[in-house]
Amino acid sequence: MQSYGFIINNERCIGCHACSTACKSENSVPLGVHRTWVKSTETGIYPDTQRHFQVTRCNHCDNPPCVRICPTGAMRQMDNGIVEFDGNACIGCKACMQACPYDSIYIDPETNTAAKCHYCSHRVSVGMEPACVVVCPAHAIIAGDIADPDSEIARTLSRAKVTVRKPEQGTAPKLFYIAGSDVNLHPTVTERRPLTFAAADALPAPGGAPPREHDQPRANGDARRLPQLQGLPEHGPLRLGGRQAQHMAQVGYNAQHRVPWHWQVPAYLVTKAIGAGVWMLLALAWLLDLASYETSTAIYGGAVALLMMTLTTAFLVLDLERPDRFLYILLRPQWRSWLARGSVLLIGYSTLLGLYWGLETLGHLGVMSVDLTTYRPAWLLVLGLFGTGVAIYTAFLFGQAEGRDLWQNPLLPIHLVLQATMMGAAALWMAESFGVLNSELSSVVRWTLGSCLLADLFVILLGEFGMSHASEVAARAAHEISGGRFRHIFWGGAIVVGHALPLLLLTVATPAAQIGAAIFVTAGLYAYEYAFVMAPQEIPNA
């Protein structure tokens, strides 16, 4: 069994960038993106300074999370251990970018598909070494089969002290560093914004807008010193885990990466919660005889849910870099991916709901004689279960996105079910203003909405952000939400608009208050999901 890997000897590396240049030439990598790059960081205070180089690329992990999350199998692990990709199968969902803890994957601007270092597998397959190894003038890069005890890489590993990036992620990376520097191995040692780059390209904000302040590298002549971390003295010592870092650390060169997911993902989370939550609540209320069944309510609930599921699908497709390949999820699914599993749940739920809604509507209009009385409990049970699956599967998808530690939260499945129930109650509470609900169901919906708002506040403030986090990266992302860049969206939008105002309006029994409460709950959930999705992506992985 082969297992190909790399060793980067930082005692030999001179930072010439020959490896990254050879990689671009060999693999026709477009300008602006990188499969291999040489990160350089400067530490100390003049005149006592040092420069540290680090060749950075895909780690070809033994346990690659990018392979598990890919819904079409475009990312795959070969028998020799190389993590390869198939651009012809990629739909551009960018899930692999979220799963990679090393920020090694990018979207090719020419093909709009994911790409990364593939170990020059076309060369390895004919007995040649990767281009970066051949071109390195100092023999600082060693490549080969780790499982072969006679190979140079295996012999070097047996005698040299090596380190890897983020071993705590459990990916078993096979990119080893000799004399690896903490300030390069751990990207959060240096503050991301503002940065002083010796040379780099600024990335535009999404949609072609001018670069944001924290995306724009400062000019080389800007000699201002960087605070190490927010809240620490400008030249105070940095601590990383138990390790002592230098007094001054700033990035001299690095490859910047765009944020993969944008507004479409928070919007999809909101519409999905409404579409699933309406029938989760209706099915539960009717199956438990908490309210009498009303055909008009079923027709209204079905219409709302189907509209929301249509919007959910639209947002998912809009976020793809290759929307023309959306059906690949169904035509060539990779079943370990919760993106593929979730697509089946979405389609199954929408199909069953559409069939039930159509039968009820046709019978109600007298177009055809339909009596669902006998089979209605079974229909309700199936729709309720599918709705719960639709609500909850994203928690497992986020769990596969191992590059974003904040999303690795065991509370997330419970929280998503709670949010879906809350949104379903909000949508039905709006229906109360039109007289769609009978008095029994109206009471159930009102109490459910109030209870879910209070429970959601408890989960957010005490569960999501009130407890300590398992990693520094997760803690930083949480701070960005509650006390950093997204604090106004979180406190003003999610907490005040999304919870406090609806709770207040629940005490007012007027149609305007009911509509207002539903709108505020929806806006508040979008604010929360926007912060929750975007903040972890602001924490650098490379």
Residue 414 included in any domain: yes
Residue 301 lies in a domain: yes
Same domain assignment for residues 423 and 445: yes
pLDDT number for residue 250: 76
**How remote is the C-alpha of 301 from its chain's centroid?**
30
Residues recorded for the chain: 542
Query: Could you tell me the two tokens for 170?
Result: 């459990």
**Domain check: are 198 and 280 in the same one?**
no
Total domains present in the chain = 2
CATH of the domain at 469: 1.20.1630.10
- Name the pairing type of β-strands 4-9 and 75-77: unpaired
Both 425 and 485 in one domain: the answer is: yes
| Residue 269 sits in the same domain as residue 184 | no
Same domain, 461 and 373: yes
State the alpha helices, DSSP H only, in 111-227. 121-124, 131-135, 152-159, 182-185
Among the residue ranges 5-9, 96-100, 200-204, 433-437, the one predicted with the least confidence is 200-204
pLDDT-derived band at 159 (thresholds 50, 70, 90) equals very high
DSSP structure class, residue 404: -
Q: Are strands 243-244 and 239-240 parallel, antiparallel or unpaired?
A: antiparallel
- Asked if residues 89 and 72 have their Cβ atoms less than 8 Å apart, the reply is yes
Q: Are residues 274 and 375 in the same domain?
A: yes
* Domain enclosing residue 127, as ranges: 4-212+220-253
What is the structure's pLDDT at 338?
Answer: 97
459 and 317 in a common domain: yes
Contact of 196 with 222, CB cutoff 8 Å:
yes
pLDDT tens string 371-399? 777 889 999 999 999 999 999 999 999 99
Looking at the domain assignment, is residue 72 inside a domain?
yes
Residues 6+ apart with CB under 8 A from 368: 362
For residues 60 and 6, give the distance between their C-alpha atoms in angstroms, rounded to a whole number. Answer: 9
Q: What is the pLDDT of residue 211?
A: 40
Mapped onto helix, strand or coil, the DSSP state of residue 148 is coil
Residues 435 and 337 in one domain: yes
| Domain end residue (candidates: 253, 277, 309) | 253
Tokens (6 digits) for 525: 């959930």
Pair 233, 268 in one domain: no
Residues 338 and 201 reside in one and the same domain:
no
For 24-40, what is the mean pLDDT?
93
User: Tens digit of pLDDT for each residue in 306-359?
Assistant: 999 999 999 999 999 999 999 999 999 999 999 999 999 999 999 999 999 999
248 and 345 in a single domain? The answer is no
The answer to whether the beta carbons of residues 472 and 238 sit under 8 Å apart is no
Domain annotation covers residue 297? yes
Asked if residue 259 belongs to a domain, the reply is no
Residues 92 and 178 in one domain: yes
pTM equals 0.88
How confident is the model at residue 47, as a pLDDT? 82
Per-residue pLDDT, averaged over 147-174, amounts to 95
For residue 521, count CB atoms less than 10 angstroms from its CB and return exposed for 0-12, middle for 13-18, buried for 19 or more. Answer: buried
User: What is the average pLDDT across 13-38?
Assistant: 94
- Sequence-ordered list of residues with C-beta below 8 angstroms from that of 289, at least 6 positions apart, any chain: none
Last residue of one domain, picked from the residues 199, 234, 253: 253
User: Could you tell me if residue 156 is inside a domain?
Assistant: yes
Confidence class of residue 246 from pLDDT cuts 50, 70 and 90? very low
Where residue 181 sits, what CATH number does that domain have? 3.30.70.20
pLDDT higher than threshold 80 for residue 227: no
Helix 376-400 × helix 264-287 angle, to 10°: 150
